[in-house]
Amino acid sequence: MSCMRFFSVRLTNALTWMCLTLGISSSTFAAAPVNLTISTGSVSGVYYPAGGAICRLLNKSQKQHQLRCSVTASEGSIANIQKLRNNEVPLAIIQSDIEHHAFTGTSEFEQSGAMPQLRALFSLYSEAFTLVVREDGNIVQLSELVGKRIDLGNIGSGERATMELLMQQLNWKQTDFSQISGLHADERAQALCDNQIDAFVYVAGHPNGAIREATNSCDVKLLSLPAELIANILKAHPEYSATTIAGGLYRDNDSDINTFGVTSALLTTDKLDDETAYQIVKATMENLTQLERSHPALKGLKPENMTHVGLTVPLHPGAARYYREHKIKM
């Protein structure tokens, strides 16, 4: 036996003995964990904790699939679409109307173009268009927003795009308000309570931290939308649905609020490999109870709804494979 081969054999035997002694399999050295990032939203919203909960479920079973997940905050759904378009992140939570417009290249995506590469893993929870106003602002109905100081939502957020759609339905312009702003989600409650604005809009799951902060800190109320307006929006935009914010979720807001809403979803692109998509769905679906416990807005998730409700882009093949294997209706 040559000298080089002798040392090679001795080294191999030594490594094998060390692995057996420490209980380490050879596969441990074969592949380093693949890092995945989910782009979410404001830390005071629901996207951020929802993304964090999905990551925890995936990381819990990391030894099985070598995937390591983390979350990053963002401006919201539109910003998340751009991150997917630019390949900055492989995963993002996005509301269904923005999902639809990005896929088809319509509305705010006319200039940047369609994204036929978008794929869905699953939908999550309903998000309601929410209008929060000061009690002393003399705003009892929607039409009384005219001439007031309103926050439309920060640029890059889904609520700003949704509010602009509502303004189109009403033939409103930004000049119809005495003041407009584009605050981040975690700044709106303070601005409302400090009397810097009269109202703000939010598209969110409920209960929501930012809205709860406002209702607990000062006298504010949630405002219902007229039934006719909701019907007109749904007729023109099937990506929306009528929804109700239950009374009693917030201080001094005991009545149900009638509005319209969207559905949030975990999206990716066709660049994500099938096995990774499969493992993300598997970790989520097999630990759905834990996901529901992570935030009140996530209660009541059902696999048979998560495969299609609110999804306006095709399912990723890896996700579809999991649903087929487990006979979950798509």
Token pair for residue 24?
Answer: 């380490």
DSSP code of residue 243 = E
> Residue 236 corresponds to which amino acid?
A
Q: Phi and psi dihedrals of 179, rounded to 5?
A: -160, 135
Written as one string, the DSSP assignment of 218-240 is: S-EEE-PPPHHHHHHHHHH-TT-
Over its length of 330 residues, how does the chain's per-residue pLDDT go in tens digits? Answer: 444 333 333 444 444 444 444 444 444 445 678 999 999 998 888 999 999 999 999 999 999 999 999 999 999 999 999 999 999 999 999 999 999 999 999 988 999 999 999 999 999 998 999 999 999 999 999 999 999 999 999 888 888 999 999 999 999 999 999 999 999 888 999 999 999 999 999 998 898 888 999 999 999 999 999 999 999 999 988 888 889 999 999 999 999 999 999 999 999 999 999 999 999 999 999 999 999 999 988 999 999 999 998 899 999 999 999 999 999 999
**Range(s) within the chain of domains with CATH label 3.40.190.10:** 27-125+264-325, 128-262
List, in order, residues 6 or more apart from 32 with CB less than 8 Å away: 66
- Farthest CA pair distance, the chain: 94
Q: Phi and psi dihedrals of 154, rounded to 5?
A: -70, 150
Between CA 1 and CA 29 the distance in angstroms is 28
Output the CATH code of domain 128-262. 3.40.190.10
Q: Which of 302, 324, 311 is nearest to 118 (CA)?
A: 311
> Residue 67 corresponds to which amino acid?
L
State which CATH number among 3.40.50.300, 2.40.30.70, 3.40.190.10, 3.30.70.360 fits the domain covering 27-125+264-325.
3.40.190.10
Angle at 111 between CA 107 and CA 115, to 5 degrees: 75
Using a cut of 0.85, tell me whether the model's pTM lies above it: no
Q: Which of 122, 151, 147 is nearest to 306 (CA)?
A: 122
> Residue 169 corresponds to which amino acid?
Q
